[in-house]
Amino acid sequence: MDDYIAAFPEDVRRILQNIRETIRRAAPLAKEKISYKMPTFALDKDIVHFGAFKTHIGLYPPVRDPNLQSRVLPYRGEKGNLRFPLDQPIPYDLIADIVQARAEAARGKTAGKRPRPPGVSLPSRG
């Protein structure tokens, strides 16, 4: 992740590092890695990817949490992925809330989600 961030101009590096620190605070148990050639944080599964582009910072995957929909709407790009324009303030508080929601979902703590009873398995795909 250090190498990825270092490859950008100073102003973009600062933003990427701030996003990295925001994600670390929001999901302190998440592990850093590179996936899809982007910085990624994972718990048991990938919870968030981010990347720098010519005019924006992308955040993936799409946000599905109904409690965050109105806040992510101004940043929604095609396929629902988020785009934070580089010429506007980056919404670090929104990024933190997204990461916290995804971390909770990864741990099975989202509202309305019940754990499977012991001995119950999902049908196989085949």
Mean pLDDT estimate for the chain: 88
User: What SS3 state is found at 125?
Assistant: coil
**Torsion sign (Cα): 18, 50, 40, 11:** negative
* Res. 109 pLDDT band, cuts 50 70 90: low
If phi over 0 gives left and psi between -120 and 50 gives alpha, with beta otherwise, what is residue 18? alpha
Q: Rounded to whole angstroms, how far apart are CA atoms 98 and 94?
A: 6
pLDDT recorded at residue 79: 86
- The DSSP code sequence of 75-90 is GB-GGG-EEEETTS--
Which residue would you say has higher pLDDT here, 109 or 32? 32
Question: What is the rounded average pLDDT of the residues 86-109?
Answer: 93
Percent of the chain topping pLDDT 90:
78
pLDDT in tens, 27-44: 999 999 999 999 999 998
* Whether residue 19 has pLDDT greater than 80: yes
pLDDT recorded at residue 47: 96
